A and B are shown apart, each in its own frame.
Chain A
Amino acid sequence: MDESLNAWFTREILVHESALMRYLLRSWFRREEIHDLRQEIYIRVYEAAAKARPAMPKSFMFTTARHLMTDRLRRSRVVSIEAVGDLDALNVLIDEISPERRLSARQELRHLSDAFDHLPDRCREVVWLRRVEELSQKQVAARMGISEKTVEKQIAKGMRLIAEHFYGGGNTHAGRRHASANAEHGDGHGQQQPD
């Protein structure tokens, strides 16, 4: 794998995930598709950057997002007004909706501790012992009296939740709540419970 591409991707693209998520949540009301949209955007950006790194990564990512959403709109045969979000948001200047968020080290740590605090109890304990006390997975298992397999699972879960909160800015929760409220009287996709 191309290490420099990976480093570039982490440095220039992933750091803007929370802005991207805000943009997607605002522009796309089918919340259950957002995870997928995000992946698709990352794939496109990554593959384009493998050929040539865009000069302005952030705008490039937002442009990609916009293209992808308009593509999807065009391809779906029935466009219900409820299914699509704030269409105007697609045309909003990128910097307006995503003020630069280069966080200071302290802000980042706060952000991270916040992500950590949002973990469920057991997961939080596993992550603490593994990450802060630097116990091995085996030692964590012994300490907590659970199996190594469980520790591994909790770590996998912790990773996903921390990524969601740290990169996604934790605003997906608010977004989901909003979304399910919308969905219930909208296109009938009311499967997500308000949390």
Chain B
Amino acid sequence: MASSSQIELLASAWLARRDGSGWSIHDQLQLDTWLLESTAHRVAYLRLDAAWRQSDRLKALGAGVPAGTVPERAAWGLTPSPELRDAPIDDGAHGRTGARARHAAPHRPASSHLTPKASGKPRRKLLSYGLGGCAALVLAFLAVGWRHYSAVDQASYRTAIGDLQDISLPDGSVITLSSDSRILVTLSRNERHIDLQQGEAFFKVAKDSSRPFVVSAGDRRAIAVGTRYDVRRDAGHLRVIVTQGIVRLESDNGAGGRRQPTALLPAGSIALASDAGVVVSSGPVQQAEELLSWRSGFIAFHDTPLSTAVAEFNRYNQRRIVIGDPSIGAMRVGGHFRWSNVDSFVRLLELGFPVRAERDKDAIVLKRR
């Protein structure tokens, strides 16, 4: 393992890069990955981040200092010497100029190379305003241009109950749309956006770090750069399963204005997001894959309540199974089934459980035998 000082160096490098321009979602994902690697990374990062945010308060020292000038050391009218740091402060007599005069002399050598800058500063300030104005104009221009330029490819897809559909996008990504599902695909220059309006879909995302792949469902978004994951929208919650890479799950402010925390989901994660928050379970990727076997026509149950298993079947079939007696809903079932073959599932239930089925044209009602 790296030493604590090396980790600190890395953490500061990440923060400094994030502070600069050109920070992309791809960088963010890489940083997130690094942070997930170990607690040592996280605490080092947190500590430097907190200190850097504190340093924002240095702004208070900039009041009255002309732009482009870096004041000399200890010119703050605050007691500077480390020996006195813990001494009580008298708030009264520290006029800025007085303090400056008092402390300037002993510290002058340290800041000598900054002095020439100070003389040229009023012009500099003017210039910087000018530049600022230009920049604003260019930005405004860009914003207008952007609306035209980022004009987009948009298409919507939907499947009927019992149908699956593979959709190949121009960027090379492939979406498998599950039964009874609906998506709106919007491809723009800087984002690939999929609005999952109903149901479930699996995304095999072609890598493109400049255009993050964003799947939104209600107020939540699952974002990736190049990875494989599944998003399913149910009445009360959203499920995200990741089988490759990392996906970032985030949300808008909730009803109470409370922003739900962002979750990072590495491969093998199964995340359930509801109003109560996000629950993530991580296990082997195969386990996660199994929940996605619907793509090849199967569904798998392990010690699953019958009510849940039935709901799964009903996602894929027009002819619905109805639990006619609440007491049987809690029975546990397991096994792999073809989701298109409701009849054989029901026959197996009748064989192995105290269950009797009443078959109808549109529904199969299960009762206790």
Contact = CB atoms under 8 A, between A and B. Distances in A.
Interface of A: 1-4, 6, 9-10, 14, 17, 35-36, 38-40, 42-43, 46-47, 106-117, 121, 124-125, 127-134, 136-138, 143, 148, 151-153, 155-160, 162-163, 166-167, 169-170
Nearest to B74: A117
Contacts of B264: 1
B54 to A, nearest CB: 6
A132 B48 CA distance: 18
Contacts of B82: 114, 170
State the majority secondary structure of interface residues on A. helix
Given A1-B35, A110-B79, A162 B52 contact: yes
Contact of A130 (B3, B19, B39): B19
Contacts of A131: 55-56, 58-59
Given A9-B46, A42-B43, A47-B39, A128 B21 contact: no
Interface of B: 3-5, 7-9, 12-13, 15-17, 19-21, 32, 35, 39-40, 42-44, 46-48, 50-52, 54-62, 65, 67-68, 70-71, 73-74, 76, 78-80, 82, 85, 89, 91, 110-111, 113-114, 261-262, 264
Given A43-B40, A125-B114, A36 B3 contact: yes
Contacts of A134: 59
A115 B73 CA distance: 11
B12 A160 contact: yes
A116 B54 contact: no
Among the interface residues B7, B65, B76, which one has the most CB atoms of the partner chain A within 10 A?
B76
Nearest to B124: A143
Contact of A112 (B48, B54, B65): B54
Given A153-B16, A156-B15, A35 B111 contact: no
B21 A113 contact: no
B80 A46 contact: no
B44 A1 contact: no
A160 B49 CA distance: 10
Which of the listed residues A3, A36, A43, A169 has the most CB atoms from chain B within 10 Å of its own CB? A43
A32 to B, nearest CB: 10
Contact of A132 (B46, B51, B59, B89): B59
Contact of B21 (A39, A137, A162): A137
A151 B265 CA distance: 33
B289 to A, nearest CB: 26
A70 B89 CA distance: 39
Contact of A10 (B8, B35, B50): B50
Name the residue in B43, B50, B62, B65 with the highest tally of chain A Cβ atoms < 10 Å from its Cβ: B43
Contacts of A9: 43, 46
A134 B67 CA distance: 10
B12 A36 contact: no
Contacts of B9: 156, 160
B67 to A, nearest CB: 6
Interface centre among A46, A113, A134 (most CB of B within 10 A): A113
20 contacts: A2-B261, A3-B262, A4-B261, A10-B50, A36-B4, A46-B39, A110-B79, A110-B80, A111-B85, A114-B78, A114-B80, A115-B55, A124-B73, A131-B58, A152-B20, A156-B9, A158-B55, A159-B12, A159-B52, A167-B51
B62 A133 contact: yes
B91 to A, nearest CB: 7
A109 B54 CA distance: 9
A160 to B, nearest CB: 5
A106 B91 contact: yes
Nearest to B71: A128
A175 B51 CA distance: 21
Contacts of A115: 55
A162 B21 CA distance: 22
Contacts of B62: 128, 132-133
Given A124-B73, A159-B52, A167-B47, 11 more contacts: A10-B46, A39-B40, A109-B57, A110-B76, A121-B111, A128-B71, A133-B67, A155-B16, A155-B20, A159-B12, A160-B48
Contacts of B261: 1-4
10 closest residue pairs by CB, A with B: A163-B51, A39-B4, A156-B16, A156-B12, A132-B62, A42-B43, A110-B78, A137-B20, A155-B16, A117-B73
A18 B168 CA distance: 57
B43 A46 contact: yes
A166 B16 contact: no
Given A36-B4, A111-B85, A112-B57, A124 B70 contact: yes
Contacts of A155: 15-16, 19-20
Contacts of B12: 156-157, 159-160
